[in-house]
Protein backbone atom coordinates (compact mmCIF):
# COMPACT_ATOMS: atom_id res chain seq x y z
CA UNK A 1 0.00 0.00 0.00
CA UNK A 2 1.67 3.18 -1.14
CA UNK A 3 0.71 6.48 0.31
CA UNK A 4 1.04 9.15 -2.32
CA UNK A 5 1.74 12.74 -1.49
CA UNK A 6 -1.85 13.51 -2.41
CA UNK A 7 -3.12 10.90 0.01
CA UNK A 8 -0.68 12.18 2.60
CA UNK A 9 -2.29 15.59 2.38
CA UNK A 10 -5.87 14.47 1.84
CA UNK A 11 -5.76 11.94 4.60
CA UNK A 12 -6.60 14.46 7.26
CA UNK A 13 -9.05 16.31 5.08
CA UNK A 14 -6.34 18.85 4.56
CA UNK A 15 -6.20 21.34 1.79
CA UNK A 16 -2.86 22.29 0.33
CA UNK A 17 -1.04 24.52 2.73
CA UNK A 18 -2.63 23.27 5.88
CA UNK A 19 -0.67 21.02 8.16
CA UNK A 20 -2.47 18.00 9.33
CA UNK A 21 -1.53 14.63 10.67
CA UNK A 22 -0.79 12.20 7.90
CA UNK A 23 -2.84 9.05 7.87
CA UNK A 24 -1.32 5.88 9.32
CA UNK A 25 0.82 4.40 6.58
CA UNK A 26 1.26 1.02 8.16
CA UNK A 27 -1.41 -1.48 8.97
CA UNK A 28 -1.02 -5.05 10.16
CA UNK A 29 -2.96 -6.12 7.06
CA UNK A 30 -0.17 -4.85 4.82
CA UNK A 31 2.68 -6.95 6.13
CA UNK A 32 5.41 -6.63 5.19
CA UNK A 33 4.83 -2.97 4.57
CA UNK A 34 6.83 -1.97 1.52
CA UNK A 35 8.97 1.15 1.57
CA UNK A 36 10.13 1.91 -1.93
CA UNK A 37 13.02 4.31 -2.23
CA UNK A 38 13.07 5.99 -5.63
CA UNK A 39 13.65 9.24 -7.49
CA UNK A 40 10.36 11.12 -7.73
CA UNK A 41 9.03 14.64 -8.16
CA UNK A 42 6.84 16.86 -6.08
CA UNK A 43 6.08 20.54 -5.52
CA UNK A 44 8.23 22.04 -2.76
CA UNK A 45 8.22 25.75 -3.59
CA UNK A 46 6.19 27.95 -5.96
CA UNK A 47 4.12 24.95 -7.06
CA UNK A 48 7.00 23.85 -9.31
CA UNK A 49 7.96 20.18 -9.58
CA UNK A 50 11.26 19.37 -7.90
CA UNK A 51 13.17 16.11 -8.15
CA UNK A 52 13.48 14.40 -4.76
CA UNK A 53 14.62 11.02 -3.52
CA UNK A 54 11.73 9.69 -1.52
CA UNK A 55 9.99 6.75 0.10
CA UNK A 56 6.73 5.64 -1.54
CA UNK A 57 6.59 8.61 -3.86
CA UNK A 58 6.56 11.45 -1.33
CA UNK A 59 8.86 13.40 0.93
CA UNK A 60 8.38 12.89 3.82
CA UNK A 61 7.70 9.20 3.38
CA UNK A 62 4.61 7.56 4.86
CA UNK A 63 3.90 7.90 8.54
CA UNK A 64 4.54 4.56 10.20
CA UNK A 65 2.17 4.42 13.14
CA UNK A 66 2.64 1.51 15.51
CA UNK A 67 1.34 0.26 18.82
CA UNK A 68 3.81 0.06 21.66
CA UNK A 69 5.32 -3.42 21.70
CA UNK A 70 4.18 -4.19 18.15
CA UNK A 71 6.34 -6.37 15.92
CA UNK A 72 6.93 -4.77 12.58
CA UNK A 73 7.87 -6.05 9.11
CA UNK A 74 9.04 -3.46 6.63
CA UNK A 75 10.50 -4.33 3.24
CA UNK A 76 12.86 -1.78 1.75
CA UNK A 77 12.91 -1.85 -2.03
CA UNK A 78 15.80 0.11 -3.44
CA UNK A 79 14.90 1.71 -6.75
CA UNK A 80 17.41 4.52 -6.25
CA UNK A 81 20.45 4.89 -8.49
CA UNK A 82 22.66 4.17 -5.43
CA UNK A 83 22.97 1.66 -2.61
CA UNK A 84 21.08 2.54 0.57
CA UNK A 85 19.77 1.32 3.96
CA UNK A 86 17.08 2.42 6.41
CA UNK A 87 17.86 3.32 10.00
CA UNK A 88 15.03 3.58 12.56
CA UNK A 89 16.12 6.59 14.56
CA UNK A 90 15.46 6.18 18.29
CA UNK A 91 13.96 2.68 18.17
CA UNK A 92 15.66 0.30 20.62
CA UNK A 93 15.76 -2.68 18.30
CA UNK A 94 18.00 -5.65 17.57
CA UNK A 95 21.38 -4.56 16.30
CA UNK A 96 21.01 -6.51 13.04
CA UNK A 97 17.98 -4.34 12.11
CA UNK A 98 19.65 -0.97 12.80
CA UNK A 99 20.30 -0.21 9.14
CA UNK A 100 23.93 0.87 9.32
CA UNK A 101 25.91 -0.13 6.23
CA UNK A 102 29.09 -2.13 6.86
CA UNK A 103 28.31 -2.28 10.60
CA UNK A 104 24.93 -4.03 10.93
CA UNK A 105 24.21 -4.99 7.31
CA UNK A 106 25.52 -4.85 3.76
CA UNK A 107 24.26 -1.83 1.80
CA UNK A 108 21.13 -2.74 -0.15
CA UNK A 109 22.09 -2.85 -3.81
CA UNK A 110 20.28 -1.04 -6.59
CA UNK A 111 17.18 -3.02 -7.51
CA UNK A 112 17.47 -5.18 -4.40
CA UNK A 113 15.36 -5.40 -1.25
CA UNK A 114 15.93 -5.89 2.47
CA UNK A 115 13.47 -7.04 5.12
CA UNK A 116 13.51 -5.24 8.44
CA UNK A 117 11.82 -7.12 11.24
CA UNK A 118 11.77 -5.69 14.75
CA UNK A 119 9.73 -4.83 17.81
CA UNK A 120 9.04 -1.24 18.91
CA UNK A 121 9.36 -1.24 22.71
CA UNK A 122 8.84 2.47 23.39
CA UNK A 123 6.04 4.89 22.64
CA UNK A 124 6.95 8.24 21.16
CA UNK A 125 7.84 10.20 18.04
CA UNK A 126 10.65 8.74 15.93
CA UNK A 127 11.74 8.75 12.31
CA UNK A 128 13.50 6.76 9.64
CA UNK A 129 16.18 7.65 7.13
CA UNK A 130 19.06 6.06 5.22
CA UNK A 131 22.38 5.63 6.99
CA UNK A 132 24.19 5.27 3.67
CA UNK A 133 25.79 8.55 2.48
CA UNK A 134 23.26 10.21 4.72
CA UNK A 135 24.81 13.66 4.10
CA UNK A 136 23.43 13.31 0.55
CA UNK A 137 20.50 10.89 0.75
CA UNK A 138 18.70 12.60 3.65
CA UNK A 139 18.76 16.16 2.21
CA UNK A 140 17.61 14.74 -1.14
CA UNK A 141 14.37 13.85 0.69
CA UNK A 142 14.72 10.33 2.12
CA UNK A 143 13.08 10.45 5.55
CA UNK A 144 9.75 9.78 7.17
CA UNK A 145 8.06 9.90 10.58
CA UNK A 146 7.25 7.10 13.02
CA UNK A 147 4.70 7.35 15.81
CA UNK A 148 4.49 4.64 18.45
CA UNK A 149 1.28 5.08 20.42
CA UNK A 150 1.15 4.97 24.19
CA UNK A 151 -1.00 2.22 25.71
CA UNK A 152 -2.99 5.04 27.28
CA UNK A 153 -2.69 8.01 24.91
CA UNK A 154 -2.47 11.54 26.24
CA UNK A 155 -5.99 13.01 25.97
CA UNK A 156 -6.02 15.67 23.23
CA UNK A 157 -8.55 16.80 20.66
CA UNK A 158 -6.21 16.30 17.73
CA UNK A 159 -2.65 15.49 16.76
CA UNK A 160 -0.48 17.14 14.16
CA UNK A 161 2.92 16.03 13.01
CA UNK A 162 5.48 18.31 11.40
CA UNK A 163 8.58 16.93 9.80
CA UNK A 164 10.86 19.95 9.58
CA UNK A 165 13.66 20.00 7.06
CA UNK A 166 15.14 22.09 4.28
CA UNK A 167 16.09 21.86 0.62
CA UNK A 168 18.77 23.75 -1.26
CA UNK A 169 17.09 24.85 -4.48
CA UNK A 170 18.16 27.03 -7.38
CA UNK A 171 15.93 29.70 -8.98
CA UNK A 172 14.29 27.09 -11.20
CA UNK A 173 13.48 24.99 -8.10
CA UNK A 174 16.05 22.36 -9.05
CA UNK A 175 18.05 20.84 -6.21
CA UNK A 176 21.57 22.25 -5.93
CA UNK A 177 23.64 19.08 -5.85
CA UNK A 178 26.69 20.31 -3.96
CA UNK A 179 26.85 17.41 -1.51
CA UNK A 180 30.03 16.32 0.21
CA UNK A 181 32.04 19.55 0.21
CA UNK A 182 34.85 19.52 2.77
CA UNK A 183 34.01 23.14 3.58
CA UNK A 184 30.51 22.06 4.68
CA UNK A 185 31.90 19.06 6.53
CA UNK A 186 34.18 21.34 8.57
CA UNK A 187 31.73 24.19 9.28
CA UNK A 188 28.02 24.40 10.10
CA UNK A 189 27.11 21.76 7.50
CA UNK A 190 25.24 22.09 4.21
CA UNK A 191 22.22 24.23 5.09
CA UNK A 192 19.33 24.46 2.63
CA UNK A 193 17.74 27.72 1.49
CA UNK A 194 14.11 26.53 1.67
CA UNK A 195 12.75 25.36 5.00
CA UNK A 196 10.00 22.78 4.64
CA UNK A 197 7.20 21.48 6.82
CA UNK A 198 6.04 18.05 5.67
CA UNK A 199 7.85 18.52 2.37
CA UNK A 200 6.33 21.89 1.43
CA UNK A 201 7.99 25.30 1.78
CA UNK A 202 7.33 26.94 5.13
CA UNK A 203 5.87 30.46 5.12
CA UNK A 204 3.18 32.58 6.72
CA UNK A 205 0.44 30.88 4.69
CA UNK A 206 1.18 27.48 6.26
CA UNK A 207 -1.40 27.11 9.00
CA UNK A 208 -1.86 25.49 12.34
CA UNK A 209 -5.61 25.96 12.76
CA UNK A 210 -7.02 25.88 16.29
CA UNK A 211 -10.53 26.08 17.59
CA UNK A 212 -10.88 28.18 20.73
CA UNK A 213 -9.84 26.09 23.76
CA UNK A 214 -8.91 23.18 21.55
CA UNK A 215 -5.97 21.03 22.66
CA UNK A 216 -3.55 19.85 19.97
CA UNK A 217 -0.53 17.61 20.36
CA UNK A 218 2.10 18.80 17.91
CA UNK A 219 4.80 16.24 17.18
CA UNK A 220 7.95 17.84 15.80
CA UNK A 221 10.77 16.01 14.00
CA UNK A 222 13.90 17.72 12.76
CA UNK A 223 14.90 15.72 9.67
CA UNK A 224 17.22 18.41 8.26
CA UNK A 225 20.75 17.28 7.52
CA UNK A 226 22.34 20.29 9.23
CA UNK A 227 19.82 22.98 10.18
CA UNK A 228 19.13 23.63 13.85
CA UNK A 229 15.71 25.18 14.55
CA UNK A 230 14.90 27.66 17.32
CA UNK A 231 11.11 27.75 17.33
CA UNK A 232 9.01 30.47 18.92
CA UNK A 233 5.20 30.50 19.06
CA UNK A 234 3.65 33.96 19.29
CA UNK A 235 0.69 34.45 21.61
CA UNK A 236 0.72 30.87 22.91
CA UNK A 237 2.50 28.94 25.60
CA UNK A 238 3.13 25.42 24.30
CA UNK A 239 3.86 22.75 26.89
CA UNK A 240 6.67 20.25 26.31
CA UNK A 241 5.52 16.70 27.04
CA UNK A 242 8.24 14.57 25.40
CA UNK A 243 11.81 14.92 24.19
CA UNK A 244 12.98 12.32 21.66
CA UNK A 245 9.82 10.36 22.38
CA UNK A 246 10.41 10.16 26.13
CA UNK A 247 8.03 11.56 28.70
CA UNK A 248 9.13 14.61 30.66
CA UNK A 249 7.25 16.47 33.39
CA UNK A 250 5.02 18.86 31.37
CA UNK A 251 6.63 22.30 31.31
CA UNK A 252 6.62 25.46 29.19
CA UNK A 253 9.36 25.72 26.55
CA UNK A 254 12.46 26.83 28.48
CA UNK A 255 13.10 30.48 27.65
CA UNK A 256 10.20 30.41 25.19
CA UNK A 257 12.37 29.14 22.31
CA UNK A 258 12.42 25.45 21.41
CA UNK A 259 15.82 24.36 20.14
CA UNK A 260 15.44 21.36 17.87
CA UNK A 261 18.71 19.98 16.52
CA UNK A 262 18.96 17.58 13.58
CA UNK A 263 17.62 14.18 14.62
CA UNK A 264 15.76 15.51 17.67
CA UNK A 265 12.02 15.35 18.32
CA UNK A 266 9.79 17.24 20.71
CA UNK A 267 6.06 16.80 21.35
CA UNK A 268 4.19 19.92 22.41
CA UNK A 269 0.69 20.42 23.72
CA UNK A 270 -0.78 23.64 22.36
CA UNK A 271 -4.07 25.00 23.66
CA UNK A 272 -6.17 27.44 21.69
CA UNK A 273 -6.19 30.04 24.42
CA UNK A 274 -5.34 33.25 22.60
CA UNK A 275 -7.57 36.12 23.61
CA UNK A 276 -8.12 37.54 20.18
CA UNK A 277 -9.01 35.81 16.98
CA UNK A 278 -5.85 37.03 15.32
CA UNK A 279 -3.05 35.35 13.46
CA UNK A 280 0.05 34.34 15.40
CA UNK A 281 3.47 33.69 13.94
CA UNK A 282 5.49 30.55 14.38
CA UNK A 283 9.04 31.68 13.77
CA UNK A 284 12.45 30.13 13.53
CA UNK A 285 14.56 32.55 15.52
CA UNK A 286 17.86 31.46 13.94
CA UNK A 287 19.79 33.70 11.57
CA UNK A 288 17.66 36.79 11.87
CA UNK A 289 14.39 34.88 11.98
CA UNK A 290 12.16 33.14 9.46
CA UNK A 291 8.39 32.88 9.47
CA UNK A 292 7.51 29.20 9.24
CA UNK A 293 3.77 29.13 9.73
CA UNK A 294 0.80 30.85 11.37
CA UNK A 295 -1.54 29.85 14.13
CA UNK A 296 -5.05 30.84 13.08
CA UNK A 297 -8.41 30.37 14.75
CA UNK A 298 -11.29 28.67 13.02
CA UNK A 299 -14.47 26.96 14.10
CA UNK A 300 -16.57 26.88 17.21
CA UNK A 301 -15.03 26.58 20.65
CA UNK A 302 -13.93 23.05 21.55
CA UNK A 303 -15.11 23.72 25.11
CA UNK A 304 -16.19 26.64 27.28
CA UNK A 305 -13.01 26.89 29.31
CA UNK A 306 -9.34 26.24 28.63
CA UNK A 307 -8.04 22.91 29.89
CA UNK A 308 -5.66 22.66 32.85
CA UNK A 309 -1.99 21.73 32.38
CA UNK A 310 -1.74 18.34 30.62
CA UNK A 311 -0.75 15.29 32.61
CA UNK A 312 2.55 13.59 31.85
CA UNK A 313 2.78 11.21 28.91
CA UNK A 314 3.04 7.56 29.91
CA UNK A 315 6.68 6.61 30.55
CA UNK A 316 8.68 3.97 28.75
CA UNK A 317 10.55 1.30 30.72
CA UNK A 318 14.06 2.66 30.22
CA UNK A 319 16.83 1.20 32.39
CA UNK A 320 17.77 3.71 35.10
CA UNK A 321 21.52 4.33 35.33
CA UNK A 322 23.04 4.12 38.82
CA UNK A 323 25.68 6.85 38.87
CA UNK A 324 27.34 5.42 42.00
CA UNK A 325 28.34 2.24 40.23
CA UNK A 326 28.78 3.63 36.71
CA UNK A 327 32.09 3.41 34.89
CA UNK A 328 33.29 6.86 33.77
CA UNK A 329 34.24 7.71 30.19
CA UNK A 330 34.93 10.82 28.15
CA UNK A 331 34.62 11.92 24.55
CA UNK A 332 36.50 14.96 23.22
CA UNK A 333 35.62 16.66 19.92
CA UNK A 334 38.17 18.76 18.05
CA UNK A 335 38.66 20.21 14.59
CA UNK A 336 36.54 22.12 12.11
CA UNK A 337 37.62 24.91 9.79
CA UNK A 338 37.93 27.37 12.69
CA UNK A 339 39.42 24.79 15.01
CA UNK A 340 42.75 24.68 16.78
CA UNK A 341 45.27 22.53 14.95
CA UNK A 342 44.04 19.28 16.42
CA UNK A 343 46.01 16.09 16.34
CA UNK A 344 44.29 13.10 14.93
CA UNK A 345 45.04 9.52 14.32
CA UNK A 346 43.82 8.21 10.99
CA UNK A 347 44.49 4.53 10.29
CA UNK A 348 47.00 4.59 13.13
CA UNK A 349 48.96 7.60 11.79
CA UNK A 350 49.18 10.91 13.67
CA UNK A 351 48.21 13.91 11.55
CA UNK A 352 47.12 17.51 12.18
CA UNK A 353 43.72 18.82 11.15
CA UNK A 354 45.01 20.41 7.93
CA UNK A 355 46.51 17.12 6.87
CA UNK A 356 43.39 15.13 7.67
CA UNK A 357 41.38 17.59 5.55
CA UNK A 358 43.75 17.53 2.61
CA UNK A 359 44.64 13.86 2.67
CA UNK A 360 41.40 12.29 3.90
CA UNK A 361 38.60 14.85 3.44
CA UNK A 362 37.97 14.59 7.19
CA UNK A 363 37.55 17.59 9.46
CA UNK A 364 36.71 16.46 12.98
CA UNK A 365 38.11 14.13 15.60
CA UNK A 366 36.51 12.12 18.37
CA UNK A 367 38.98 11.20 21.10
CA UNK A 368 41.78 12.23 18.77
CA UNK A 369 40.81 9.94 15.95
CA UNK A 370 39.06 10.75 12.71
CA UNK A 371 37.21 8.02 10.89
CA UNK A 372 35.48 7.72 7.60
CA UNK A 373 31.75 7.17 7.78
CA UNK A 374 31.20 3.44 8.34
CA UNK A 375 34.86 2.65 7.72
CA UNK A 376 34.98 -1.09 7.99
CA UNK A 377 37.98 -1.23 10.27
CA UNK A 378 37.16 1.42 12.79
CA UNK A 379 38.05 0.92 16.39
CA UNK A 380 35.05 1.36 18.69
CA UNK A 381 35.19 4.47 20.87
CA UNK A 382 33.89 2.48 23.84
CA UNK A 383 33.38 -1.13 24.83
CA UNK A 384 30.89 -2.09 27.57
CA UNK A 385 29.81 -5.31 29.19
CA UNK A 386 26.13 -6.02 28.75
CA UNK A 387 24.25 -4.25 31.55
CA UNK A 388 27.16 -1.96 32.41
CA UNK A 389 26.17 1.39 33.88
CA UNK A 390 28.23 4.17 32.34
CA UNK A 391 28.67 7.91 32.29
CA UNK A 392 30.21 9.79 29.39
CA UNK A 393 31.45 13.35 29.63
CA UNK A 394 31.41 14.95 26.19
CA UNK A 395 33.74 17.89 25.72
CA UNK A 396 33.22 20.05 22.66
CA UNK A 397 36.49 21.78 21.91
CA UNK A 398 35.13 23.17 18.62
CA UNK A 399 33.41 26.42 17.67
CA UNK A 400 30.35 24.57 16.38
CA UNK A 401 27.21 23.00 17.81
CA UNK A 402 26.87 19.23 17.60
CA UNK A 403 23.70 17.16 18.06
CA UNK A 404 25.21 13.89 19.32
CA UNK A 405 23.15 10.77 18.67
CA UNK A 406 23.53 7.30 20.18
CA UNK A 407 21.94 4.28 18.53
CA UNK A 408 20.18 1.46 20.34
CA UNK A 409 19.86 3.23 23.70
CA UNK A 410 18.48 6.27 25.45
CA UNK A 411 20.72 8.20 27.80
CA UNK A 412 19.95 10.54 30.64
CA UNK A 413 21.29 14.07 30.22
CA UNK A 414 22.65 14.97 33.66
CA UNK A 415 24.46 18.25 33.03
CA UNK A 416 25.07 20.77 30.27
CA UNK A 417 28.17 22.98 30.40
CA UNK A 418 28.85 21.57 33.89
CA UNK A 419 25.47 22.82 35.15
CA UNK A 420 23.38 20.01 36.59
CA UNK A 421 19.93 19.82 35.05
CA UNK A 422 17.19 20.27 37.62
CA UNK A 423 15.15 17.75 35.73
CA UNK A 424 17.42 15.28 33.88
CA UNK A 425 15.92 14.38 30.50
CA UNK A 426 16.05 11.16 28.50
CA UNK A 427 17.29 11.59 24.96
CA UNK A 428 18.84 9.81 22.03
CA UNK A 429 20.22 13.04 20.56
CA UNK A 430 21.61 15.89 22.64
CA UNK A 431 22.80 19.35 21.53
CA UNK A 432 26.29 20.37 22.56
CA UNK A 433 26.98 24.08 22.41
CA UNK A 434 30.19 25.57 20.95
CA UNK A 435 32.99 24.90 23.45
CA UNK A 436 30.31 23.30 25.61
CA UNK A 437 30.12 20.07 27.52
CA UNK A 438 27.50 17.48 28.35
CA UNK A 439 27.32 14.71 30.94
CA UNK A 440 25.19 11.68 30.13
CA UNK A 441 24.51 8.36 31.84
CA UNK A 442 22.99 5.16 30.53
CA UNK A 443 22.84 1.40 30.89
CA UNK A 444 24.57 -0.38 28.01
CA UNK A 445 22.04 -3.19 27.76
CA UNK A 446 21.55 -3.62 24.02
CA UNK A 447 24.13 -6.01 22.61
CA UNK A 448 25.98 -5.10 19.44
CA UNK A 449 28.00 -2.39 17.75
CA UNK A 450 26.10 0.90 17.80
CA UNK A 451 26.82 4.20 16.10
CA UNK A 452 27.52 7.25 18.22
CA UNK A 453 27.73 10.26 15.94
CA UNK A 454 26.93 13.87 15.24
CA UNK A 455 23.56 14.24 13.49
CA UNK A 456 24.77 17.16 11.44
CA UNK A 457 25.24 14.65 8.67
CA UNK A 458 28.11 16.56 7.08
CA UNK A 459 29.94 16.39 10.40
CA UNK A 460 29.31 12.65 10.62
CA UNK A 461 30.81 12.26 7.16
CA UNK A 462 33.69 14.50 8.19
CA UNK A 463 34.85 12.34 11.07
CA UNK A 464 32.25 12.62 13.83
CA UNK A 465 31.09 9.04 13.41
CA UNK A 466 32.16 6.42 15.91
CA UNK A 467 30.75 3.34 17.54
CA UNK A 468 30.32 1.77 20.93
CA UNK A 469 30.22 -1.94 21.47
CA UNK A 470 28.07 -3.74 24.02
CA UNK A 471 29.46 -7.26 24.50
CA UNK A 472 26.90 -10.02 24.81
CU1 LIG B 1 19.23 9.43 12.74
CU2 LIG B 1 22.71 7.38 13.09
O3 LIG B 1 20.97 8.39 12.84
CU1 LIG C 1 28.55 18.08 14.59
pLDDT of residue 376: 59
Ligand sitting nearest the alpha carbon of 366: 2
pLDDT of residue 224: 98
pTM: 0.93
DSSP-derived pairing of the beta strands 33-43 and 71-79: parallel
Check pocket membership of 405 for ligand 1, CB cut-off 6 A.
yes
Q: How many residues does the chain have?
A: 472
Nearest alpha carbon to residue 148 among 129, 126, 164? 126
Nearest CA to ligand 1 atom 3: 89
Going from the Cα of 432 to the center of ligand 1, the distance in angstroms, rounded, reads 16
Going from the Cα of 403 to the center of ligand 2, the distance in angstroms, rounded, reads 6
Beta bridge partners of 439: 393, 415
Is 420 exposed, middle or buried, given 0-12, 13-18 or 19+ CB atoms closer than 10 A? Answer: exposed
| First and final C-alpha spacing in the chain | 38
Check pocket membership of 431 for ligand 1, CB cut-off 6 A.
no
Edge to edge, what strands does the sheet with 64-67 contain?
A: 64-67, 144-149, 124-129, 87-89
Q: Let me know: does 131 contact 87? Beta carbons within 8 Å.
A: yes
pLDDT of residue 24: 46
Say whether the peptide bond before residue 60 is cis (omega within 30 degrees of 0): yes
Residue 77's contacts (CB-CB under 8 Å, 6 or more residues apart) are: 34, 35, 36, 37, 113
Nearest alpha carbon to residue 81 among 117, 53, 41, 60? 53
Ligand sitting nearest the alpha carbon of 434: 2
Going from the Cα of 403 to the center of ligand 1, the distance in angstroms, rounded, reads 11
Could you tell me the domains of the chain?
A: 5-149 (2.60.40.420), 160-297 (2.60.40.420), 323-471 (2.60.40.420)
Going from the Cα of 265 to the center of ligand 1, the distance in angstroms, rounded, reads 13
Check pocket membership of 89 for ligand 1, CB cut-off 6 A.
yes
Q: What is the residue-level pLDDT of the chain in tens, covering all 472 positions?
A: 333 333 333 333 333 333 344 444 555 556 899 999 999 999 999 999 999 999 999 999 999 999 999 999 999 999 999 999 999 999 999 999 999 999 999 999 999 999 999 999 999 999 999 999 999 999 999 999 999 999 999 999 999 999 999 999 999 999 999 999 999 999 999 999 999 999 999 999 999 999 999 999 999 999 999 999 999 999 999 999 999 999 999 999 999 999 999 999 999 999 999 977 789 999 999 988 899 999 999 999 999 999 999 999 999 999 999 999 999 999 999 998 877 666 787 777 888 878 888 888 889 999 988 877 766 557 899 999 999 999 999 999 999 999 999 999 999 999 999 999 998 999 999 999 999 999 999 999 999 999 999 999 999 999 999 999 999 9
The secondary element (H helix, E strand) that includes residue 450 is: strand 448-454
Ligand sitting nearest the alpha carbon of 225: 1
Nearest CA to ligand 1 atom 1: 89
Going from the Cα of 299 to the center of ligand 1, the distance in angstroms, rounded, reads 40
Check pocket membership of 407 for ligand 1, CB cut-off 6 A.
yes
| Ligand 1 atom closest to the CA of 263, numbered from 1 | 1
Going from the Cα of 191 to the center of ligand 1, the distance in angstroms, rounded, reads 18
**Alpha carbons 267 and 241: distance in angstroms, whole number:** 6
Per-residue pLDDT tens digits for 37-87: 999 999 999 999 999 999 999 999 999 999 999 999 999 999 999 999 999
Check pocket membership of 462 for ligand 1, CB cut-off 6 A.
no
pLDDT of residue 379: 84
Check pocket membership of 453 for ligand 1, CB cut-off 6 A.
yes
Amino acid sequence: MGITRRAFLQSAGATLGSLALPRPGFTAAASPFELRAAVTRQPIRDGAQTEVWSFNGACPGPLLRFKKGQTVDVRLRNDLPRVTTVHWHGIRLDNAMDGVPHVTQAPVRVGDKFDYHFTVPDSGTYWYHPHQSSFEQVPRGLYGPIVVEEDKPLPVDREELWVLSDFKLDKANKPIEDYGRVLDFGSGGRIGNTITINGLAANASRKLALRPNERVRLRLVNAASARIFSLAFDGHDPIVVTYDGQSTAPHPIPGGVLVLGPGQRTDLVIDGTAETRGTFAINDRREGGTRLASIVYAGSPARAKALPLPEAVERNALPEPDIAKATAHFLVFEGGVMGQPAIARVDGKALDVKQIMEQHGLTWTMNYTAQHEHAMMHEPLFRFDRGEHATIKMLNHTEYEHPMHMHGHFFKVLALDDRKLERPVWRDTVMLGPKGSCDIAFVADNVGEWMFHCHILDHAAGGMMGTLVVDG
